[in-house]
Amino acid sequence: MADEAKPRVFVTRRLPAPIEARMRELFNVTLNAEDRPLDQGALARAVSETEILVPTVTDRIDRTVLDHAGPALRMIANFGNGVDHIDLEAARQKGLVVTNTPGVLTEDTADMTIALILAVTRRIFEGARLLAEGRWQGWSPTGLLGHRLAGRRLGILGMGRIGQAVARRARAFGLEIHYHSRRPVPEPVAAELEARFWDKLDAMLAAVDILSIHCPHTSETHHLLSAERLRLLPPQAILINTARGDIVDEEALIERLESGGLAGAGLDVYENEPRVDPRLPQLPNVVALPHMGSATEEARIAMGEKVLINIRSFVDGHTPPDRILNEWL
């Protein structure tokens, strides 16, 4: 197929090499060789010239950007599961098909969640810093005492694919599973996980030792963990967030951590990414990571393969398997 007959595809960030190579074969593709996030002006220019846009979570595809869409733009094939950075209503009004890459991040994000639970509960990063800075004076009966996981109560906010994967791992550590979600999981799943459903989030917050967030960011979940709700968590509790930073009122979280209202936090996402409040990484009871929950080669290649399938299906006149439907709006 001649290049001029191939669909024009614009990719906003560097993708794994095998995915970019395949895109060059299949499409008339524009790649971001420098891998720098594009500003709104660059995104507006991209949608004015291309047929298919492949954005990532770092791109804000809002109505202002989409107002510049040229007549050729037909599809937004998102590289990622979450689509809260895309104005879905504006895309729908322009007749654009939007797809995502669900299901391929589950195991990696669940692994990272457990890693953060362990790191905060057992003070792993504090110990590593102590050694790296040459301040360790040797073993002590009371040095860097953390807590045992077995018997502690894990509260999961959002019991979808990732929440269930976290629960399965947590059971192996002897954690009790509690969860709040829009609806209970099927009874066989609840029985397998020995999971207790709480229909009231506030009641669950007061009863858990660890809260792990796994719900999507929507207008309804923005600051779902408000200052008032954070105060419901017991002072010995820790908070883990590998979902979206906007779900937590970050200023209120910092206040609770600084005042001793919470024992600690493990964070992989932040409210104003890529800007991170400088207080968070400096707090001794916080493990702060740079949004790396899905950062495995396996996950990123699987995401790219889903993007390729979605685009090929659309170009061939079929409904893409991962099309975002109106119920997301």
Active site residues: 244, 273, 291
Q: Write the single-letter amino acid at 289.
A: L
Round to whole Å and give the CA distance between 120 and 34. 35
Question: Exposed e or buried b for every residue in 167-189, given b needs 16+ CB within 10 A?
Answer: bebbbebebbbbbbbeebbeeee
CB atoms within 10 A of CB 236: 12
Round to whole Å and give the CA distance between 48 and 41. 11
Q: Is 83 helix (H, G, I), strand (E, B) or coil?
A: coil
Looking up tokens 């299901």, which residue turns up? Answer: 103
Among candidates 39, 31, 43, which has minimal Cα distance to 76? 43
Q: What are the φ and ψ backbone dihedral angles of 303, each rounded to 5 degrees?
A: -60, -45
Distances in whole angstroms, Cα of residue 242 to Cα of each of 48, 112, 271: 34, 8, 12
Beta bridge partners of 210: 154, 238
CA dihedral sign of residues 19, 300, 309, 57: negative
CB atoms within 10 A of CB 272: 10
Q: Write the single-letter amino acid at 187.
A: E
What angle do the packed helices 161-172 and 106-121 form, to 10 degrees? 50
